Amino acid sequence: MHWVSAAHAISAEIRLYDNLFAKPDPYDLAEGQDVLDNLNPNSLVILTSAKLEPSLANAKLEDRFQFERVGYFCLDSDSTSEKKIFNRTLPLKDAWAKIEKKAGA
């Protein structure tokens, strides 16, 4: 994220989608479990009071945006002129997580 003037920003809802399942193979189950036990509880995180650049008030359905340090987003069809909703379509890679994993941190 970066600095946005609160006085000039627009409010929006941000929907951060992630993997639906917590494991790469959702059918990798322990005895007595079913596939629903492998659902990722964080597969959808909704941020309801995000502040965005005023220029995004003019976003159209086919427009795509990169929000700094978060990923790529598009305008959701549920948006209205009074309430903008953006969906993350692709997160940015976390290079630091890879480096820390290799270092054993």
Which residues span the domain enclosing 93? 10-103
Question: In the prediction, which pLDDT does 70 show?
Answer: 82
Higher pLDDT, 95 or 7: 7
Question: In the prediction, which pLDDT does 97 show?
Answer: 67
91: CATH: 2.40.240.10
Specify if 45 maps to a domain.
Answer: yes
Specify if 5 maps to a domain.
Answer: no
The tens digit of pLDDT for each residue in 54-85 reads: 999 999 998 999 988 789 999 999 999 999 99
Specify if 72 maps to a domain.
Answer: yes
Specify if 2 maps to a domain.
Answer: no
Give the percent of the chain with pLDDT over 90. Answer: 58
The total number of structural domains that make up the chain: 1
User: DSSP letter string over 14-52?
Assistant: EEEE--SBSSSSTT---TT--GGGGB-TTSEEEEEEEEE
Q: Which segment, 47-51, 90-94, 100-104, is predicted with the most confidence on average?
A: 47-51
pTM over cut 0.95: no
